[in-house]
Amino acid sequence: MDKMIEADGNVENVRVFELAAELFGVLSTPMRLRILSALCDKEKSVSQLLQEIDTTQPNLSQHLNLLYRAGVLAKRKEGTQVIYRVQSERAVTLCRTVCTQIAIEMDEPSSVPASQRLSPRISA
């Protein structure tokens, strides 16, 4: 098993950090977060997503494919349409929690102490 000993003596599984970094990498673009937001309540076709998200079809398809390959989204064919849905509810919950917190910090910066902010760039 791939393990590392940290300076304080704790043993951590390196694979945990690798997988977490991989997930954060998949979720690291605004476009992918918008796609997850659009799909969090119901499945949609690529054309339906294009009506909601201002981008090109090739760009959208590239992001959808990456989210699908990472296991965040699932897809199925319906005639000539590809329909996408959320596969990982936990990933959506993570994104929703982070985005909601940042929205609160933007709307009411003085209500969140600097030490409790997710986004240190937002100031009161």
Read off the pLDDT of residues 12-56 as tens digits, 9 standing for 90 and up: 678 888 888 999 999 999 999 999 999 998 999 999 999 999 999
Look at residue 41 and tell me if it is in a domain. yes
Look at residue 7 and tell me if it is in a domain. no
The enclosing H or E element of 62 equals helix 57-69
CATH code for position 41: 1.10.10.10
Look at residue 61 and tell me if it is in a domain. yes
Question: Could you give the count of Cα atoms lying within 13 Å of 20 in the half-sphere of its Cβ?
Answer: 6
What is the signed CA dihedral for 16, 22, 27, 32, rounded to 10 degrees? -150
Look at residue 105 and tell me if it is in a domain. yes
pLDDT at 96 > cutoff 70 = yes
Q: How many domains does the chain have?
A: 1
What is the signed CA dihedral for 116, 118, 120, 124, rounded to 10 degrees? -60
- Cα separation, 12 vs 14, in Å, equals 6
One-letter identity of residue 69: R
Look at residue 103 and tell me if it is in a domain. yes
CB distance 86 to 72 below 8 Å = yes
Look at residue 35 and tell me if it is in a domain. yes
pTM of the model: 0.80
Look at residue 79 and tell me if it is in a domain. yes
One-letter identity of residue 2: D
Look at residue 14 and tell me if it is in a domain. no
Structural domain span for residue 56: 30-116
